[in-house]
Amino acid sequence: MTTPTLTFKDRLRALRNLPVFFKLVWASGPAMMAANIGLRFIKAAIPFLLLLIGKLIIDRVVDLAQTHHTVAEAYLWKLVAAEFALALLSDGLSRAITLMDGLLGDRFANHTSVRIMEHAGNLDLDQFEDATFYDKLERARQQTAGRTILLSQVMSQVQDLITVGFLAAGLIVFNPWLIILLIVAILPAFLGESYFNDQTYALSRRQTPQRRELDYLRYIGASDETAKEIKMFSLSGFIIDRFKILSDKFYTDSKRIAVKRSLWGTFFALLGSLGYYGAYGFIIQQTVRGVLTIGELTFLAGSFRQLRSLLETILTRFTSVSQGAIYLSDFFDFFEIRPRIHNTAKPLPFPDPIQQGFTFENVGFKYLNSERWANRHLNFTLRPTEKLALVGENGAGKSTLVKLLARLYDPSEGRILLDGHDLREYDLNELRKHIGVIFQDFLRYQMTFSQNIAAGNIDEQSNSDLIYRSANQSMAEELAQKLPGGYEQMLGKRFADGVELSGGEWQKVAIARAYMRDAQLIILDEPTSALDARAEYTVFQRFTELTRGKMAVLISHRFSTVRMADRIVVLDKGEIVQIGTHEELLAKGGRYAELFELQKMGYQ
Ligand SMILES: Nc1ncnc2c1ncn2[C@@H]1O[C@H](COP(=O)(O)OP(=O)(O)OP(=O)(O)O)[C@@H](O)[C@H]1O
């Protein structure tokens, strides 16, 4: 990956992301945001007012001391009361602002997490299989905390700038040169900060793939899903070593920059102090000469000190704000990724029932970043009401074929027609609604038994009758009866009171998902491999009865199952080598008969 070098201009340019960012924040809590801005405006004026009242108090005290109480004292106490009230107000405002920053940050973090999930949900399957995409997703996710900080940083920046405006106005009245002295004193610190932030950002970008690997190692090193295999293969040491090497390199790289940054930072702070004490000395001298009153001395010295520290904060904060704004580009980049599989402007109404079926016309497909054809020269029709079985050795292209059918991918060449029209002309959601697929690597949701089944048609999650019926049809019902919590039993080991199921039991639960929807085409991509032979036979027999009149595609390595299909498609190296009924294919001899004989021998 190339590392971008950032210039001051890049930083300024990145600030353009801020309005879009604030629009997003505003959307997550408009009332809170408006209140936050209002309070900060009030808070911005307080430091100046405090200094001003302080000056008036001191001058009055000096007057009183010199004139031996000939001036009225009541005014002095009014000033003290005002200062006290202001101090209280300032404290209250700080707390309210911190509270609102925190709450707004939380709301915004939740809001963006939802948006990231929503966007990821619309993207194509092959985008998830691409490493660059993962880097973007990772960067978008990772910066959640950073964005929350950015929010309060930008608001504080505006608040401090207003305070600076007040204080600087006071200083300018006295001596504008002091302001210039101030800026000269802190500029090197700002440039230094900016330089080191660039370095840190570049490093962090370079390290994204490694950070993903570290997260992955951390996950496989300690997780319920991996513990079994890691223990049995004694992989713990291997994983820890890999983790150590990577994290040490991480540490060394970060340390180098951190140490340099700290050394330069000390030097620049020294310059700042020199500037401050120069100005301080000048103000003292003027007071001694009687040009300034003692009150003015405290006011100006206080203003100068506060200005210095405020400007320093503003300038260093500028680098981290622009830094955050640059990270925002990564965040927006993620949202710029568009799915390639999407709806046409005017989709055709989905045929119900399907009249002619699905026709593959010379369909070929290559996975992204792969030179090999996973499927090629596919020509066949899946007719209405037909049950088709796909047979072939591992990697023959069976799963790829069904993924093309469900439009998880679009063909790289050729086309798939549904009732004479390209699949791409139909509404994607309609298509998916009419197809029910259970994959071999179906998800084992760490949720309740009932939710695991309802996942097949989440709109019906409250339809208990449908859930019970689906469980009954897939033979998962007997399982629910054995579970202590019945249908409400939490499954999996991740959460409290969860019960882990066996591989075959999980498969029965997954198959129930297929019965949850009234799909016209049901695809079972080998979700029965862990069932014992008898269970698989029964499951498929029921399946055939229950889906009579519907289209189905079955993938199984067991011929007892495969032979139940109306026709069988035999795949080899992505291409169709034979197609026909069980009897026809056996009679013909060739690949199917060969595989069949092999399996028969195995059972003897
Ligand atoms: N996501 C992917 N990215 C790149 N290549 C893939 C991907 N999935 C599968 N392949 C490749 O495509 C080819 C066909 O795979 P496919 O999963 O369709 O085979 P299959 O017949 O279903 O195999 P099995 O019986 O093992 O499930 C294989 O060579 C595989 O390596």
Mean pLDDT calculated for residue range 58-68: 85
Q: Which of 262, 446, 419 is nearest to 354 (CA)?
A: 419
Q: In what order do the strands lie in the sheet with 551-555?
A: 435-438, 521-525, 551-555, 387-391, 567-572, 575-580
127 ligand 1 Cβ < 6 A: no
Helix, strand, or coil here: 145? helix
Output the DSSP codes for 213-228. Answer: HHHHHHHHHS-TTTHH
* 391 Cα–ligand 1 center, Å: 14
Q: Whose CA is nearest to atom 4 of ligand 1?
A: 367
370 ligand 1 Cβ < 6 A: yes
Helix, strand, or coil here: 286? helix
Q: Quick check: 43 pLDDT over 60?
A: yes
Cα–Cα distance, 562 to 539 (Å, whole number): 13
For 146-173, the pLDDT digits (tens) are: 777 888 898 999 899 999 999 988 888 8
For 382-396, the pLDDT digits (tens) are: 999 899 999 998 999
Mean pLDDT calculated for residue range 559-582: 92
| φ, ψ of residue 235 in degrees (nearest 5) | -90, -5
Cα–Cα distance, 500 to 479 (Å, whole number): 12
**DSSP class of residue 445?**
-
* 396 Cα–ligand 1 center, Å: 7
Cα–Cα distance, 36 to 58 (Å, whole number): 34
Minimum-distance ligand 1 atom for the alpha carbon of 367: 4
367 ligand 1 Cβ < 6 A: yes
* 336 Cα–ligand 1 center, Å: 29
Structure tokens at 87: 């101090």
So what's the pLDDT on residue 194? 76
Q: What percent of the chain has pLDDT over 70?
A: 98
Cα–Cα distance, 505 to 528 (Å, whole number): 10
Give the contacts of 409 (CB within 8 A, at least 6 positions apart): 124, 125, 126, 341, 365, 400, 403
So what's the pLDDT on residue 1? 39
Q: How far apart are the first and last CA of the chain?
A: 56
Residues 151 and 28 sit within 8 Å (Cβ to Cβ): no
Residues 310 and 71 sit within 8 Å (Cβ to Cβ): no
Q: Whose CA is nearest to atom 16 of ligand 1?
A: 397
Q: Round the average pLDDT of the chain to a whole number and report it.
A: 87
So what's the pLDDT on residue 38? 92
So what's the pLDDT on residue 2? 42
* 411 Cα–ligand 1 center, Å: 15
For 507-555, the pLDDT digits (tens) are: 899 999 989 988 899 999 887 777 887 888 888 888 888 888 889 999 9
Classify the phi-psi angles of 385: left when phi > 0, otherwise alpha if psi is within -120 to 50, otherwise beta.
Answer: left
Cα–Cα distance, 488 to 448 (Å, whole number): 5
The complex scores an ipTM of: 0.96
Comparing 142 with 458, the larger pLDDT belongs to 458
For 478-514, the pLDDT digits (tens) are: 999 999 999 999 998 878 888 999 888 998 999 999 8
- Domains of the chain and any CATH numbers: 8-336 (1.20.1560.10), 358-444+503-603 (3.40.50.300)
Cα–Cα distance, 14 to 67 (Å, whole number): 60
